[in-house]
Amino acid sequence: MASLIHTNRFSNAILPASKDETPPSPTAPPSTAARRSRRRLIFDSSFRVKKEVESIDEDEDDSPSGQMDESADDMAEQQERAEGGPYVTLVVCPVSLMNQWQDELKRSARKKTLNTMVYHGNARGVGLDEALDPDNPNRVDVVITSYGVLTSEHAKWSENQTKKKVKSFETVSLFTYDFLRIILDEAHHIKSRSTHAAKACYAVEAERRWCVTGTPIQNRLEDLHSLLCFLRLEPWGTYSFFRSFITVPFQNKDSSAIDVVQFILQSCLLRREKDMRDKDGRFIVELPEKTVELAELEFSNVERKLYDELYLKTKSKFNEYSRAGAVGKNYGRIFSMLMKLRQAALHPLLVKTDGTDDDPEDNDDEDVDKSSQLNIKEMRAQFASGGSDFKSQAFQTFIASLKAGQHAECPVCFDEMEEPALLPCGHSGCKTCLLDCIQLHSDQGEDGLCPVCQEPVKEEDIMEVQRRPRTKLDMKTNGDADWKLVKNDFKSSTKMDALIKRLKQIKEKDPKFKALVFSHFTSFLDLIEAILERYGFRFLRLDGSMNVAARQVAVKEFSQPSNEPVIFLLSVKAGGVGINLTSANYVFMMDLWWNSSVESQAIDRCHRIGQTRPVHVVKFIISHTIENRIIKIQDRKTAIVNSSLGGGSQEGTANLELMFSD
């Protein structure tokens, strides 16, 4: 893509003027119409490609001619727009890809022939007018920005349009200009036509429009409509037309609609897949082998008990909605409950039971089983304690001595315990002293031991005794504050244990390996960080909370040579698209998404051009859980994409019913 932009730009630069075109005055800038004419001439002469390529990547002939040939007076009436220069391309992409776009453009272009600008940050409007001035010899050829920036500027621009306060727009913005070309990278970001991001992209003025994505259809056929609307491919960009002739017939399984969709895509889609071959029978892209393993795991007893309790509660609520014919009205609440089931398959401590995070309405719902919530809380606490009872005899005895004012002496430092902690054997000591004692044994290659009875003990077995501050109610009733045990570290889950086991096995064979670990939940990545620290694995992280600079540093550091294993923790949304991580050849998908194409894109961060080693992918799932059913939904959606059948609310309801089928 970067090479194509550079080639097109260089051809434009050397194109002679048309004989019919009146040269502009040396002192006056060319008129709007003249510049448009010149841009159209440049395209016709320099961009000789097949019709299919023209249609998908730029869609200049599909927009209404009245809009394309709008007069300068009409444009001024809407917004004072200025031409962005005859060759300026606007690239809109996720934040994590902006610097990569800039690097690839520099790499593909001959030196000093292509100027780029990353348009992002608080000072982004400064110098934009000068940078895009067509008379500036150092003008910018490609502007790179994010969906977030474009959406933000569109909101301000739209407000000014509505209030007709054209002059009040404080700074210039991307909507001040007309561009030669706009490219949407990871274009599925605008799959929903009603989102602010989609509306912002629709509003950008450009003569040609490209959509670049590996997943033009993610969940349903109407995802495709938004891309056609952006391309201004009429009449299919009109929603009512698209729905009448495509969506509804597909829902009714009308086979004639298949021909319509295929006809549209043949005229505007250029598709390249890894398994495609050239005319000589060779793969168009030579890549090392990729193996994908679906590792099915079994819950521990405590995890299974918690999950089953949560599943029965969720299923009961869904059946209630189904009997009332209210499934469609409660999609948000149902998917919130499904999210809890997905989290329970990762780690019980991720499950929220008070309703405050995921489903606030549940707190006021008389039908919610409060006892079920209490049971889940108790089981989470039991899991956190390793399955043991918090109110053990050792704990009660220790608390009784504290209440009696008998401050025990630490068996290690022989001083009064400032941070009292208990071991599973029942003996106590200062938390710091116990940790130092275990570390001393560990440094000698031995298992940690209790300093009193010499029973084996691990760092995560230490439980700190903490006292809750007395409340006003305690003071009024002369009640005692509660005491509680807090584990020094949380208990690992089944999936986390499986991950560590795999990492250890790989390390034995390859002590310098690099691996990617993906999850949709950043809270789960937090827990994985702790378990990696426990076992001495070096790790880096990339998620949506990090700014552009921090993401770039993390990717660069991961790509550097290392004499030890390096694990890269990534959220699927922030790290699953665009970035190049070919220094890794192991991928672990800790949880599933409803559409397998999202996972495929994440895996392709390392299985791409530049990879020299076989890639090994492991997808962890827990047997007899919602994850087995997500696999079936993935298969359904893959079939929809491949055969262009299904979609709509009927398919969505069928998927939900599958979640709770026995």
Q: With residue 293 as reference, give the H or E element that holds it.
A: strand 290-297
- Which is higher by pLDDT, 255 or 29? 255
**In the predicted structure, residue 87 carries a pLDDT above the cut 90:** no
Lowest model confidence (mean pLDDT) among 146-160, 439-453, 510-524: 439-453
- Please report the pLDDT score of residue 21 as a whole number: 39
- Please report the pLDDT score of residue 355 as a whole number: 42
User: Residue 267's pLDDT band (boundaries 50, 70, 90)?
Assistant: confident
Nearest to 490 by CA among 530, 519, 520: 530
Q: With residue 487 as reference, give the H or E element that holds it.
A: strand 483-487
Q: What average pLDDT score do residues 386-401 get?
A: 58
- Please report the pLDDT score of residue 395 as a whole number: 63
Q: What average pLDDT score do residues 56-84 get?
A: 35
- Please report the pLDDT score of residue 454 as a whole number: 86
User: What residues are paired with 93 via a beta bridge?
Assistant: 146
- Please report the pLDDT score of residue 24 as a whole number: 39
- Please report the pLDDT score of residue 483 as a whole number: 56
Percent of the chain at pLDDT exceeding 70 = 69
Q: Are 169 and 156 in contact (CB under 8 A)?
A: yes
- Which is higher by pLDDT, 419 or 308? 308
Q: Are 558 and 508 in contact (CB under 8 A)?
A: no
Q: What average pLDDT score do residues 1-10 get?
A: 57
Q: What average pLDDT score do residues 394-415 get?
A: 72
**In the predicted structure, residue 345 carries a pLDDT above the cut 90:** yes
**In the predicted structure, residue 322 carries a pLDDT above the cut 70:** yes
- Phi and psi angles of residue 460, each rounded to the nearest 5 degrees, phi first: -75, -10
Lowest model confidence (mean pLDDT) among 251-260, 400-409, 526-535, 557-566: 400-409
**In the predicted structure, residue 556 carries a pLDDT above the cut 80:** yes
Q: What average pLDDT score do residues 122-142 get?
A: 80
pLDDT tens, 352-379? 644 444 333 333 343 444 444 545 566 5
Percent of the chain at pLDDT exceeding 90 = 26
User: Residue 163's pLDDT band (boundaries 50, 70, 90)?
Assistant: low
Q: What average pLDDT score do residues 325-342 get?
A: 87
Q: Are 334 and 656 in contact (CB under 8 A)?
A: yes
Q: What average pLDDT score do residues 205-211 get?
A: 92
Distance (Å, whole) CA 314 – CA 369: 10
pLDDT tens, 530-539? 889 888 899 9
**In the predicted structure, residue 51 carries a pLDDT above the cut 80:** no
Q: Provide the token pair at 490.
A: 């949380």
- Please report the pLDDT score of residue 380 as a whole number: 60
- Please report the pLDDT score of residue 598 as a whole number: 83
- Please report the pLDDT score of residue 376 as a whole number: 59
Tell me the residue type at 527: L
Structural domains in the chain, CATH included, are: 50-268 (3.40.50.10810), 393-487 (3.30.40.10), 494-651 (3.40.50.300)
Q: Are 265 and 227 in contact (CB under 8 A)?
A: no
**In the predicted structure, residue 19 carries a pLDDT above the cut 50:** no
pLDDT tens, 31-49? 434 333 333 322 332 333 3
**In the predicted structure, residue 624 carries a pLDDT above the cut 70:** yes
**In the predicted structure, residue 13 carries a pLDDT above the cut 80:** no
User: What's the chain's average pLDDT?
Assistant: 75
**In the predicted structure, residue 591 carries a pLDDT above the cut 90:** yes
pLDDT tens, 213-226? 888 887 777 888 89
- Which is higher by pLDDT, 505 or 15? 505
- Please report the pLDDT score of residue 614 as a whole number: 95
CB-based contacts of 543, cutoff 8 Å, min separation 6:
522, 525, 569, 570, 571, 574, 575
pLDDT tens, 563-578? 999 999 999 988 887 7
Cis peptide before 235 (omega within 30 of 0): yes
Tell me the residue type at 220: R
Q: What does 581-595 look like in DSSP terms, one character per residue?
A: -TT--EEEE-S--SS
User: Residue 85's pLDDT band (boundaries 50, 70, 90)?
Assistant: very low
Distance (Å, whole) CA 353 – CA 375: 10
| Sheet with 463-467: strands ordered across | 428-430, 420-422, 463-467, 483-487
pTM for the model stands at 0.64
Q: SS3 for 372?
A: helix
**In the predicted structure, residue 139 carries a pLDDT above the cut 60:** yes
Distance (Å, whole) CA 490 – CA 346: 14
- Please report the pLDDT score of residue 18 as a whole number: 40
**In the predicted structure, residue 477 carries a pLDDT above the cut 70:** no
Lowest model confidence (mean pLDDT) among 232-246, 448-462, 574-588: 448-462
**In the predicted structure, residue 297 carries a pLDDT above the cut 50:** yes
- Please report the pLDDT score of residue 432 as a whole number: 80
User: What residues are paired with 185 via a beta bridge?
Assistant: 212
- Which is higher by pLDDT, 449 or 26? 449
